[in-house]
Amino acid sequence: MSLKKDLKIKKLRRKALLPRILSIIFVDILLISAALFFGVIATLHIFSDALADNYKSCNAVVELVNDNYQIDDDALFKAVTEFERLSAYVEQVYLTDDDFNVINSFDNEEISFQKEFSVKEAKKCLAEDGLFRNELDDYEVMFGDFINFDFSFLNVESFLFKRDMLDSATEAITVPSGWLVLRSSLGNVNVCIKTNYPVYPATYSVLFLMAISIVCVVIFTGIYELKKIVAFIIEQRKVYKLVFTDNVTGGNNKEYFIRKSSKYIKRNPCYVLVQLRLEKYRNYCTAYGVKEGENLLEDLYNALDGALTKKELAAHLEKADFALLLASDTDGKIEERVGSILNTLGNVRQNQHLLFSVGICRVETRHDDVQSLLTAAGLAITKRTESANNIVWFDASMKEEQVWERHIEDDMEKALENHEFKVYLQPKYSTKEEVLSAAEALVRWVHPELGFISPGKFIPIFERNGFILKLDDYMLDEVAKQQAKWREEGKKLVPISVNVSRAHFARYDLAEHICSIVDAYQVPHEFIELELTESAFFDDKTMLLETVKKLKSFGFKVSMDDFGAGYSSLNSLKELPLDIIKLDAEFFRGADDLERSNLIVGDTISLAKKLGMQIVAEGIETREQVDFLAKQNCDLIQGFYFAKPLPINEFEERAYGTN
């Protein structure tokens, strides 16, 4: 699978899930933060009001003491006790001296104060600890209970004082109480006040409702968003199933196979990857219909899936190809198992013959790429025609061949532009005079990096990919150009044959096309011979015959190359108005019965002569062959006996005696 496609699949599976989760967290954080903010503000407002009122009440007590202490003890007593009764914040009041001995308890329970260190020492310790920024006034001290409240934020300059024993009797509806010591204006008189910080039931109710509201909002939001996430996960699973399900078989597709196989291989590389192809599937669909063909593929997939064990995989790839990931064993046992699977598949349609080809590639390491393994197994299938066995194992040479073909195809267009394809001419000699009378144009590729490349290595590739059409036109153009050059130089021209591949004959205006190339150089047509192979006869006979007639009418000579290499040569002679036939070199090589072979050659030459055709024997390498052909009235001889294919300059030297 391509990286781009893999990323798209991951995006389909995950892109909406993370944002949804983050949105829930973000919304809940916002809601909780907002609720807490307002809750804290409300709570601070409630308690700050209570603390401020508390402080005001305490100051009022100090004022009462300042105003009445030296005037009237009864008035002071009444004022303080009345204030205690009416104030929600003042619970008990004591007057003490600087050593905290009780001067007046105002009929409260007797109590003794005991400090652990002096006020001066307390100030020093608190100042060193950096608890207060403002300097502490001499007249103001505060005792704190176990929770040690700090009133500095109310601008009450005070500090905490540890005590030995102080009860803090509080009602159930109040927060903890504390002791506040304020110095009066009377000198050695301090006012010790036990204060309350009441919070009323209504306040608790408000805070409780606020807390409940926050919790409800958070829970409701969470449930709502969770429901959306669950729905999305269900939707994503449906998408996942669509992405990784084959439309034809309803089983695993290629993307799923690659992803899952990669995981298995990374855990344990002991696997082989098998690609299995149902041959002649298109023919099956033609005979039984496309729908029945798809039903067959579905049944084959189910049969494959049923033949697998745990940790093995099957998938439909495309067309009639399937992929298998099988647990590894020896080559022999793997082939036995694949053979058993093929038998199972063959029984899917009892009354129909099903033929399969199999390519197998062994997994070497945990890091092997599954796509590359599939490619290798598929490449092995293409070699089935070269093997009697329909099970073919992939080997490195197949990959090298594929890489070579890829390299050739990548460079062929550039090679044509750069004239890397060179024309070589192989002379044809007259049999009796043994003089150079014609030639055949052969292509050679001189690659800038690979050097000389034999035609046998690139011509088959060009025939498969169609580039042979451009190469043939190029060769015809180069030959016509060279003939024009020799004509200008006043040299005697000899006919040069140029190959025309069978693929050209699908073109209805081929004769006109060839004529336009040659006429561009004003070369007389009789000096250009067009060779076609016998295999062209198996294509559109009507089109072939029509083209040959046109070419002859334009003055070109038409020859058949490799005559006798096929099985319909005589039929070709009967139907095609050929000018020349070239006897295949195999007529003259390694015949067990030389007399029988010579008899066939002699009769073929005789027959061609009666039909008004010239005969060219190619592949001639010995004097005995030359003498025999001369006796049989063969017209021209081509082969290594006289000359191998030559570059243009060497051919010129041989033909014209010049460089």
Name which of 100-104, 184-188, 589-593 the model is least confident about.
Answer: 589-593
Over the stretch 592-633, which tens digit does the pLDDT of each residue have? Answer: 556 777 788 888 888 888 888 999 998 888 898 898 888 888
Please choose, from the candidates 446, 441, 471, the residue with its C-alpha nearest in 3D space to the C-alpha of residue 459.
471
What percent of the chain is modeled with pLDDT above 90? 26
Q: Is the dihedral of CA 380, 385, 390, 395 positive or negative?
A: negative
> For position 143, what pLDDT does the model report?
37
Q: What is the pTM of this model?
A: 0.59
Over the stretch 385-417, which tens digit does the pLDDT of each residue have? Answer: 644 458 888 887 787 887 888 889 999 999 999
Over the stretch 372-381, which tens digit does the pLDDT of each residue have? Answer: 889 888 888 8
- Whether 176 shows a pLDDT value over 60: the answer reads no
Range picked from 225-229, 463-467, 564-568 for highest mean pLDDT = 463-467
Looking at residue 503, the DSSP 8-state letter turns out to be: G
**Three-state DSSP string of 584-610:** CHHHHCCCCCHHHHHHHHHHHHHHHHH
Q: Which residue has the tokens 């040299």?
A: 491
Between 64 and 127, where is the model more confident? 64
Consecutive H or E run containing 496: strand 496-499
- Whether 459 shows a pLDDT value over 80: the answer reads yes
Q: Which residue has the tokens 């890489």?
A: 403
Distance (Å, whole) CA 561 – CA 580: 9
Name which of 342-346, 471-475, 530-534 the model is least confident about.
Answer: 530-534
Q: For residue 350, count CB atoms less than 10 angstroms from its CB and return exposed for 0-12, middle for 13-18, buried for 19 or more.
A: exposed
3-state class of 501 per DSSP?
A: coil
3-state class of 78 per DSSP?
A: helix
Q: Give the torsion through C-alpha atoms of 321, 325, 326, 329, to 10 deg.
A: 110
Name which of 143-147, 358-362, 432-436, 646-650 the model is least confident about.
Answer: 143-147
Q: For residue 629, count CB atoms less than 10 angstroms from its CB and return exposed for 0-12, middle for 13-18, buried for 19 or more.
A: buried
* Exposure on the CB side of residue 399, measured as CA atoms within 13 A: 11
Amino acid letter, residue 486: W
Consecutive H or E run containing 325: strand 321-327
* Exposure on the CB side of residue 227, measured as CA atoms within 13 A: 6
Start-to-end Cα distance in the chain: 58
> Quick one: average pLDDT of 308-312?
87
Over the stretch 263-293, which tens digit does the pLDDT of each residue have? Answer: 999 998 899 999 999 988 988 888 889 899 9
Q: Distance between alpha carbon 420 and the CA centroid of its chain, in Å?
A: 38
> For position 7, what pLDDT does the model report?
57
Q: Which residue has the tokens 């070239």?
A: 582
Over the stretch 70-97, which tens digit does the pLDDT of each residue have? Answer: 777 777 888 888 887 777 778 888 888 8
3-state class of 298 per DSSP?
A: helix
> For position 74, what pLDDT does the model report?
77
Q: Kindly report the CA angle at 454 between 449 and 455, in degrees rounded to 5?
A: 120
Name which of 56-60, 169-173, 290-294, 313-317 the model is least confident about.
Answer: 169-173
Q: What are the beta bridge partners of residue 559?
A: 531, 580
3-state class of 275 per DSSP?
A: strand
Q: Which domains does the chain have, with CATH numbers?
A: 35-204 (3.30.450), 254-394 (3.30.70.270), 404-656 (3.20.20.450)
> Quick one: average pLDDT of 496-500?
94
Which runs of consecutive H residues, i.e. helices, occur in 442-561?
455-465, 468-488, 510-519, 541-553
Average pLDDT value for the chain: 79
> For position 322, what pLDDT does the model report?
93
> For position 179, what pLDDT does the model report?
74
> For position 555, what pLDDT does the model report?
93
Q: Distance between alpha carbon 553 and the CA centroid of its chain, in Å?
A: 58
Contact 615, 636 (CB under 8 A): yes
How is residue 161 written in tokens? 């004082």
Per-residue pLDDT band for 323 (boundaries 50, 70, 90) equals: very high
Distance (Å, whole) CA 443 – CA 453: 10
> For position 230, what pLDDT does the model report?
78
> For position 309, what pLDDT does the model report?
86
What is the secondary structure of 91-106 as a DSSP string?
EEEEEE-TT--EEE-T
* Exposure on the CB side of residue 475, measured as CA atoms within 13 A: 27
Looking at residue 154, the DSSP 8-state letter turns out to be: G
Over the stretch 197-215, which tens digit does the pLDDT of each residue have? Answer: 666 666 667 777 777 877 7
Over the stretch 123-162, which tens digit does the pLDDT of each residue have? Answer: 454 454 443 333 333 333 333 332 233 333 333 333 333 3
Per-residue pLDDT band for 15 (boundaries 50, 70, 90) equals: low
Contact 601, 587 (CB under 8 A): yes
Strands in 271-278's sheet, in edge-to-edge order, are 313-316, 321-327, 271-278, 356-362, 391-393
Over the stretch 236-256, which tens digit does the pLDDT of each residue have? Answer: 777 667 778 888 888 888 888
Distance (Å, whole) CA 439 – CA 380: 41
- Whether 466 shows a pLDDT value over 50: the answer reads yes
Q: Which is it for strands 580-583 and 557-563: parallel, antiparallel or unpaired?
A: parallel
